[in-house]
Every structure is written in C-alpha cells, then in structure tokens.
Chains A and B, each alone.
Chain A
Amino acid sequence: MDEMVQEPAAIEEPVAGEAPVAEEIGTQDGGKKPPLSKEEKKIRRERVMRVIKPWLYLLPTLVVLAVFTVWPIINTVRMAFLADLRDVSAGGDPIGYDFLKDMGGMYNFEFTFQNFAYVVGYEGFLTALGNTMLLTVVTVPVSTMLALLIAVALNSIKPLRKVFQTIFFLPYVTNSIAIGMVFMAMFQMIGYSPASPPTSVGIVNTIIEAFGGTAINWVNEGSSYWANMSVLFFYIIWNALPFKILVLLGGLQGVNKQYYDAAKVDGASRVRIFWKITVPLLSPMIAYVVITGFIGGFKEYTSIVGIFGEKYMGPPGSMGKPLNTMVGLVYDSIKSNQGSASAAALILFVIIFVVTMLNLYVSKKKVHY
C-alpha cells in the first residue's frame, strides 16, 4: 500500500491539456464558436477520447464494484439499522429486517439500534465471540512460533530442503472442508453410542493408546467442549502453517548474513542468536503473519464446518451450535433476518478493525525496520 502512495508521478506524459478539454466539452453547445476545420475536429475528438478512454477501460470493473461492493456496504449498514419495533412496546422482540418482509409492506421498518442490541443479547453471541477469540489467541501464537522454528530449521539445512519446503506447503493447496472431513475421520470413534463400546476408537486414539494414554471422545456425541476445541486448534494450526512458513522463510533468506557472522565471531549461542538477531530482523514478517493471522482467525468458519458440519457446529446431537463463530453467526441468519446478520457483520468488522489497529500499534513499537 505504501508503494502505491509513492507512485503518483509514474507517468510523465504531459497532462496540461486536460483541464481545457473538459471546459470545451462544457461549452460545446454554446454555438458561438466558428465552425471547426477537419483537422481541429480530429484533435478535439482525440482529446475527448483521452478523457473518456480510461473510464471505458474501467467501466466493467466499476459497474461490478458498484453493484457488488459499494452498494453492499451502503445496504448492509442500512439493513443493520432497520427493524420493526411494534412488538417491542408490547414486551416482545424487535422484528429484524428481512427483504421478504420489506416487500410485503406489512412491516414498519424504522431506524433503530435494536438489531445490535438483539445480536449482543442473543445467548449464542457470547458463545460465538468466545470461541472466535479462543481459537485466535491460541492458534495464531502457536502457529507463528512453530512456523518460525520450521523456517529457521529449513534455512539451516541444505539437502532435502526443497522437499521439506514442498511438504510444508501442501496444506495450503487443500480444500479446508475436504481435509476437515479427514480430520473428523481421524479423531472419530466408529460405532460409538453411550450404551455400548465403539467398534474402533479411531486412529488418533489408537496412537494415543500406543503411547500409554487413554482414548478420548474427541468429536463424537457427548464429547466435551475442550476435546472439540483441541481438535480445532490442531486443525487450524496445521492449516495455517504453510503461509506463515512461506513468508518467514522468504524473510530469513533475505537476511544479511553478515549479522550472523558477526554474532558467531562474538561467540553468541544459537538461542541467543535466534532471539537477538533472527527475531528482530524478521520482525516485519512476523508482524505481517500475526496481523493476517488475527484477521483470518476472526473469520474462522469453514474449518469448523469441515470437521463438525453446518447443522450442529458441534458434536452430533448438541444444542445451540456450541462451536459457532462470529462468521457463523452472520450466516445463520442471512436467509431469514438480514437485519441481524448485517448487525453481526458490522460488529465483526469493528472487532477486526480494532484488533488490527492494536496489532499495528504494537508492531510499530516492537518491529525493527
């Protein structure tokens, strides 16, 4: 983004002729001017073309943006603030905005903050917010640390590096729904029911048992919140590693080797070198992956759908989507109540905005450029 701002005068073509052209267009119909020669007409046409042409190039893009990006911003804010409050005076709940209701004309939508109050007051809101925060604050630091270690390790070996690099990137090019289903299969007990033992405890539990542990009900009916969350942590970290490794390794490879040589001469230990040289030098990249990680974390949704499915957003037979996230909250009501969906989306946006600003503020203090 910085680059973009620095780029204003990239084109040296003279632009002086532009303003007059615009004026001429404005006065063209005045009719007072003498008839133009062919040559003049041609020049004039070219000048007009010069003004119009860029907009012609941009027209399809701007139309699509106007309808599917600009209008949604306006409309989402609008819907978030509309509700029918007639029930409220009678002690009922507000009726949120819904385009089918809007159409019939039987509802009386007015400007109000009720949708926001309604979303925040909804029992599932705290669950969703809590889950989202928990997933983010656990997976972002862990995956960043792990990615950093892997990147440093990769940077310190020569044979097989490319092979490892390719392997570590694989999770990136997969479908999070599809692989989520594989994780489900790995953690699932087969033939489980409270009245009878499962026919198989699943591969993950088998491995745990091989190391002397006891099988845990990770994802089946009646499994605990923390068991479910652990599976999600594992999956999300697994999924988040490739991008972070890619960026951090790229950063490491750009680091000036002289720093390390100097440190070596000073006889600094590896751990010391890691904390005193590698981390500070990589801090811009670390900040980058942490910030994008936080943004991604607050938008977590498909990994949970992949593992647990949209219906329950939790183990089978659970109530009220115990693993729902903020994005899930938005999509839950998108078909029936766009008012509360919009309000939830705006709340999510504000949270992401604040967290990103906080991140930027912290990184400004800590990052060494």
Chain B
Amino acid sequence: MTDTNVAVENQDIPVQAPEETPPAKKSTAVDAISRKQLAVKILVQIALYTFLTLMAITVLFPFYWMLISSVKTQGEYEATIPTFWPQQFKWENYLYLFVNVPEDNVYIANEFNLGKLFLNTVLVGVVSTLLSLVLTVLSAYAFARLEFKGKNAVFAAMLATMMLPGELFTISNYVTVSGLGWLHDGMGVFTALVVPFLVSVFYIYLLRQNFMQIPNELYLAAKVDGTSDLKYLWKVMIPLSAPTLISITILKMMGAWNGYIWPNLVGQGVFELVTVGLRGAGFQNAAGDTLYPVQMAAIVLVTLPLLLVFIFLRKYIMHGVSRSGIKG
C-alpha cells in the first residue's frame, strides 16, 4: 500500500478527517522493495481485483437480469433452463406498457398506464421540488443571515424533529389530509402528496451551512450599496450555493420517484405515482397469465431514469447523500 497518490474525489464527505498531507517521499521505500515483496504486491492486487469483480458482478446481476428478462418471450422466460441471453428479442413487451394490443390478447395498458403514471410522478416531483426550494432558501437565509430573537431555539427545535421517525407523522397526517377533504379526487391527492413534505429540515440545515460560508463582508457591502435582501439572496447567495441547491433538487425528485408508503396510502386508485402503480399492477394478459417479461420491462422503465440521472449528475447526488444517510 505504498500507493500515495490518492485523489480526494469526494470533497464533501461528512466528517472530514485531518487534511491530507503532501505525498510522502517514496524513493527510499521503493528502493527497499525486493523482488519477493513485489511478487506479493502483485498477488495482492490480483486478489483485490478478483474480490472487487466478484462483488461488482453480484451488485450488477439484478440489473442485468432485469434487462434481459424484459426482452424475453414468455416462453423463454419460463424455460426450464434459464437463458443468459435472449434467443429472440421481444421489444413488444415495452409496447404493451403503453398501448393495448388486442391481437396478442394484452390489455395491460388499461390497468397500468405507464405514461400517466410518469406524468403524475413528474408533476408531483416538479411542483414539490420548486415549492420546497423556495421555502428552503427563504428559511435558510433567515437562519444564516438575519438576526432575531429565538433564532437558535427555533432552529434547534427544528433540528430536533429530525430525530423522530417519519411514521410518527404519517398517522396524524393521514388524519389531517382526510379531514381537509384532500383524498377524494386527483387534485386533492396531488395536494396531499406535495404539501406535507414541503419542508425538509435537513435541506434547510444543509443550505444554511452553505450560506454561512459566504463571507459576511459581501452582505455588508451589498447593504451599503442599498441592495435589498431579496435581491442579494437572488444575485449572490443562490448562485454561490448552486451545487447544494442542485443536490436538493435531485434528491427531492428521487424522493418523488421512489416514494411508496405515503403515495400508496393517500393515492391508491385515485392519483397514483409510478412506484405505487408498479407494485399494484398484475401484468396479466387476457388469459390471466402473468406476463413476467412485461413486468420486467416496466421495472426497467421505472429504474432507468434514475440510473441516467445518476450517471450524469453523480457528483451532486453523492454530495447530498453522503451527508444525509436518508434514501431519496
């Protein structure tokens, strides 16, 4: 393990250990390595790669299985010896998710309309993210830049609520949204999906930390120039905190995409989000057989957007995740 040139890729790991020291001088150490030690080193490297490869295969296998299963024919899927590569690609499995195909006796789109589920989910995701960002920015600003009585107490009280498990809120919130009459139609359920989760104390905390790192001199200078608070917030603080805001946006969208418990509780049968629809659908053809490949195709389409988002926005996701420990 003489390898010293380790790049710190994730600058934003929660608890930062001591600053990295400059690379150690390795000349003397390297000179001392005998042939034997080199052999050991190579063996160790082989062992490491083997281990990592095995683990990577385990991690990747479900994705692989999902993908190939989604294009198999029903017959091949049920074959006694499973095939590791489709003998015949049946892309219609994806078509079935969006339209009825009477000649194949498949009417899955009647019950499981993926287009509508996507639309619902994106709608909830976008609206709740936008509103939530506004609330988060305003609160974080107040906590970071404004001075008022009871600030620390209110902030501490808010942080304390983070310790409580979500189930504690869900029960009463279900009562509340029922009482408010939000569960009767699509619009009401939409409201019930958005409003209770507009405030995330964790995001406020995250953004507040970010805001506080912005030098106070900038603010005072702006004050002298007669810039209003809101303008300063918009022109200076938001651009400077863009990475955190992007992280929040992505995590919030992921939350809408992956949410199951609450959307299932309030929206089942009325206004369904994609995960609820996926779990509830039977994927049966008109003869009552479960079309597993079609189910897999649906899972692929539900999983893929997130994987793409991850590949393109990896940095921001890890930034947010490493601090939260909360999925989605």
Contact = CB atoms under 8 A, between A and B. Distances in A.
Do A and B have CB atoms closer than 8 angstroms in the complex? Answer: yes
Interface in B148-199: 148-149, 151-152, 154-156, 158-159, 161, 163-176, 178-179, 195-199
A6 to B, nearest CB: 11
B159 A169 contact: no
Interface string A284-325: 110011001001100101100110011000000000000000
A237 to B, nearest CB: 10
A354 interface: no
Given A261-B24, A264-B2, A341-B171, A53 B146 contact: yes
Contacts of A1: 159
A255 interface: yes
A363 to B, nearest CB: 12
Given A178-B299, A179-B303, A206 B82 contact: yes
A71 B178 CA distance: 15
A206 B84 CA distance: 11
B78 A352 contact: no
A182 B62 contact: yes
A264 B40 CA distance: 14
A55 B138 CA distance: 10
A65 B132 CA distance: 12
B138 A60 contact: yes
Contacts, number: 329
Interface in A155-174: 155-158, 160, 162, 164-174
Nearest to A19: B149
B81 to A, nearest CB: 7
A331 B262 CA distance: 10
B292 A173 contact: no
Contact of A11 (B147, B261, B321): B147
Given A65-B158, A79-B172, A254-B13, A173 B44 contact: no
Contact of B169 (A69, A182, A281): A69
A65 B260 CA distance: 22
Contacts of B204: 61
A203 B164 CA distance: 41
A120 interface: no
Contacts of A54: 142, 146-148, 151
B116 interface: no
A24 interface: no
B229 A53 contact: yes
Nearest to B10: A250
Given A348-B165, A349-B168, A4 B155 contact: yes
A219 B229 CA distance: 59
Contacts of A153: 48, 51-52
B210 interface: no
A285 to B, nearest CB: 7
A90 interface: no
B49 interface: yes
A279 interface: no
Contacts of A353: 163
B310 A169 contact: yes
Interface stretch (B14-22, B86-94, B100-108, B240-248): B14-22
A26 to B, nearest CB: 14
A178 B297 CA distance: 11
Given A99-B178, A173-B310, A190-B78, A72 B275 contact: no
Given A4-B205, A164-B52, A348-B165, 7 more contacts: A7-B212, A18-B147, A68-B176, A73-B168, A166-B311, A182-B296, A183-B62
| A-B residue pairs, 10 tightest by C-beta | A250-B13, A254-B17, A72-B172, A57-B142, A292-B325, A54-B148, A75-B172, A173-B310, A54-B146, A68-B196
20 contacts: A54-B146, A57-B141, A65-B158, A67-B176, A72-B173, A75-B172, A156-B3, A165-B9, A170-B59, A173-B309, A175-B306, A178-B278, A178-B302, A199-B78, A199-B80, A246-B321, A250-B14, A254-B18, A256-B17, A264-B2
